[in-house]
Amino acid sequence: MQSLILYSTLGCHLCELAKEQLTPLLEEFSLCLVEVDIADDEALLKKYGVRIPVIKCKKNEQELGWPFDTKTAYQFLVEGGGVGS
């Protein structure tokens, strides 16, 4: 199963919205969502602090930052994320 990383942090309401947008795609593409709390890593905090939520495909390292909806995330996964339905 391919992994999709969601960079987020505790109390981030946009991160919760992002998870809602991604939920239907996880099953469709057989993806495992791996949530990474940027507060636990100084380098990640510096890189993503004002950009979260950000999704990243582990397969090819492509990233998509907020804002995105389900349609945009779908296009990202198919066109840039290296997955297909």
Could you tell me how far CA 38 lies from the centroid of its own chain? Answer: 13
Mean pLDDT of 18-24: 97
Cα 62 from Cα 25, distance rounded (Å): 17
What pTM was computed for the model? 0.91
Domains, in order of start, for the chain: 2-80 (3.40.30.10)
Q: Which amino acid is at 85?
A: S
Helix (H) / strand (E) containing 65: strand 63-65
How does pLDDT run across 32-42, given as a tens digit for each residue?
A: 999 999 999 99
Q: Which residues contact 20 (CB under 8 A, 6 or more apart)?
A: none
- Strands 2-8 vs 63-65: parallel, antiparallel or unpaired: unpaired
Report, as an integer, the average pLDDT of 52-73: 94
The pLDDT-based confidence of 10 (bands split at 50, 70, 90) is very high
pLDDT at residue 43, rounded to an integer: 98
Question: Is a pLDDT exceeding 60 seen at residue 82?
Answer: yes
The DSSP string of 48-63 is HTTT-SEEEETTT--E
